[in-house]
Amino acid sequence: MFESRLEVPCSFAELGVSAALVEALGQAGITEPFPVQQMTIPDALAGHDVAGKAPTGSGKTLAFGIPIIERLQRSLPRRPRSLVLAPTRELAKQICDALVPLARSRTLRVHAFYGGAPFEPQIRALDRGVDIAVACPGRLLDLIGQELISLADVEIVVVDEADRMADMGFLPDVRALLDMTRPDKQTLLFSATLDGDVDVLMAEHQRNPVRHDVATPDDGPIRHLFWTVDEAHRMVLLVDLIRHVGRALVFARTRYGAERIGARLEAAGLLTAALHGGNSQLKREAALDEFRAGRIQTLVATDVAARGIHVDDVPCVVNYELPTDAKDFVHRSGRTGRAGAVGTVVSFVTRAQRTLAERIISEAGIDAEIEQADVYQLESPAERLAVDRELMALTGIRRPGSVGAVCYQVKR
């Protein structure tokens, strides 16, 4: 395996991207490649297998999407030439949405295949011809079992979020699907980690891959705050925080918890939607679309939304309920501070969870201390202004004119 070298800043054209695709990127407002794209695109365009280690939100979709679009030829019906495997429905749809406008520059057809959606539109797309199939393993195996799709012509495969595939138990299905593709295929693998089961997958299905590591910047764009708060005061704290920052992604552990938190936020006058595995696919997509468009202030989600979901300009992630391990915490945190933007992650810590919070801080390598948040009654506009100033200083987010009768203070 070859290690990558650090590249100097350059343009897409200098990476070897065609003029037509550079123009399509420009029309989408994409003019400068991110580091992961600088590193991987030349090798992928040259036909090498690539193993990319990069944090969420680093630009991996275009890192593999651009080479696919440049190298691919049109496919026969039901026999795609490229396959992108994704662990979740939301990520598969997101990848598809990102690639469709770029693929038009070469008249290539992209379609997503995942469970929770009707079979009929997916079958009709296959009958018309799909050049780039973006799929979740379960639905793809269903389609193969019904002889509605063949992978025998697939010449470029992408395994995205490979570590998440491993966490969700999908690697046996991924291996089976890769075995159905051409033996001389090009395999591009992207993951937040390249060890353990992911390393085994690389050894089995890649030929002398070029490895590229894109580290999170040392001065990272995410600020972490851990606040101890009594159980009875968590909702008061959450409502006031959201009113201050204006927009937030809130995490709960369970479907029931997400629905309960969402209902209480709605009762407090905040436009809110819940996103979890118990929702239908249409409801999940609608919630994400509403949040992306800014028509709701708060999205309350379980860890189904912690990986691979890109929403621009999320100023604050709130862990209303802490996850059970540091890996999930890091994935949740990646929903803010994306693409160089500044982000804030606020984690509520009940007294019973202090040991868990300390372990997460240690294992995730976070520079943060657990502080005490005390809820109290505001008695004047001057106190409201003082609290807003404190919130601005703590979160780094300026939100003039926020309102609320109850707030809190954080003891250093």
What is the pLDDT tens value at each position of the chain, 412 positions in all? 444 444 455 899 999 999 999 999 999 888 889 889 999 999 999 999 999 987 666 789 999 999 999 999 999 999 999 999 998 888 899 899 999 999 999 999 999 999 878 899 999 999 999 999 999 999 999 999 999 999 999 999 999 989 888 888 899 999 999 999 999 999 999 988 788 888 889 999 999 999 998 765 433 468 899 998 888 888 988 998 898 888 899 999 999 999 999 999 999 999 999 988 888 878 888 888 899 888 999 999 998 765 656 777 788 999 999 998 888 888 888 888 765 667 889 999 988 899 999 999 988 888 788 887 655 544 455 555 555 565 666 565 544 333 333 444 444 3
Q: Where does residue 294 fall: left (phi above 0), alpha (psi -120 to 50 degrees), or beta otherwise?
A: left
Class (C level, CATH) for 2-213: alpha beta
Query: Helices 89-103 and 60-71 sit at what angle, rounded to 10 degrees?
Result: 50
| Three-class DSSP category at 144 | helix
CATH architecture for the domain at 222-411: 3-Layer(aba) Sandwich (3.40)
What are the residue boundaries of the structural domains of the chain, listed by start?
2-213, 222-411
Order of all β-strands in the sheet with 50-53: 2-3, 210-213, 50-53, 186-191, 156-159, 82-85, 132-135, 110-113
Q: Report pTM.
A: 0.68
Domain 2-213 shares a fold with domain 222-411: yes
Query: Helices 171-179 and 196-205 sit at what angle, rounded to 10 degrees?
Result: 10
